[in-house]
Amino acid sequence: MVNEKNLLLGILGILLGIIVIVFPLISIFTVNAIAGIGIIFIGIWILIKSLKNDSLAAGAAGLIVAVFTIMMGIVFIGDIKAFEFFTFIALYVVGFFIALAGITSLISGEGLKGKATGALGIIIGILFVIIGTYAANPLVLAAMIGAFLIIAGIIEIIAPEMINAPKTDK
């Protein structure tokens, strides 16, 4: 039986992932705006994960990271001139936030599901920086963000029992 929180979080992850993948195809925004939208969606994901966390310290850390991530996404979308230097490091910032979301999930996640989502985030974050450096194509980068959110959402839905998997004594 899928827990309602897991189902809702999973559906949200899948929907946000689809939006990130589809949005650049119908958009005339710049790379900054596309990256900003992706960063905001990652921030929303981190925010919901932190509110769901049982550990107060991990939840508070996740909340701080989520607020900072959402604020950075707004800076990217708003193209605020005072933060124009972020334009040059956009790919690295987005990759960093994806990896940070993975680290947060890896540390605070319970069971195999939390660890799998965390490892996925770290791998996608590193790939984002590597592929982004060479491809510099916002569609490829948006697809990577969307893939992370969709896979994390699917894991949330199909593997809720992995959270409290019983430990076996040998």
pTM for the full model? 0.51
Rg for the chain (alpha carbons), in Å? 16
Give every CB contact of residue 71 below 8 A, 6+ residues apart in sequence: none
Is 170 within a domain? no
Q: Which pLDDT score, from 0 to 100, does residue 28 have?
A: 43
pLDDT tens, the chain, 170 aa long: 456 767 777 888 888 788 777 766 554 455 667 777 888 888 888 888 888 777 787 778 888 888 888 888 887 777 666 555 665 566 677 778 788 888 877 777 667 777 787 888 888 888 877 776 666 666 776 777 778 788 888 877 876 555 444 555 54
* DSSP letter string, the chain: ---HHHHHHHHHHHHHHHHHHHGGGG----HHHHHHHHHHHHHHHHHHHHHH-S-HHHHHHHHHHHHHHHHHHHHHHHT-GGGGGGGTTHHHHHHHHHHHHHHHHHHH--HHHHHHHHHHHHHHHHHHHHHHHHH--HHHHHHHHHHHHHHHHHHHHH-GGGTTPPPPP-
Q: Is 117 part of any domain?
A: yes
The domain tally of the chain equals 1
Look at residues 147, 143, 167, 166 and name the one whose alpha carbon lies nearest to residue 155. Answer: 147
User: Is position 168 within any domain?
Assistant: no
- In which domain, by residue range, is 17 found? 4-160
- Residue 166 forms part of a structural domain: no
Distances in whole angstroms, Cα of residue 18 to Cα of each of 15, 40, 106:
5, 14, 24
Q: What's the pLDDT at 13? A: 80
In a domain, 96, yes or no: yes
Question: Which residue from 36, 53, 37 is spatially nearest to 110, judged by alpha carbons?
Answer: 53
| Residue 53, both tokens | 């966390």
- Residue 134 is predicted with a pLDDT of 65
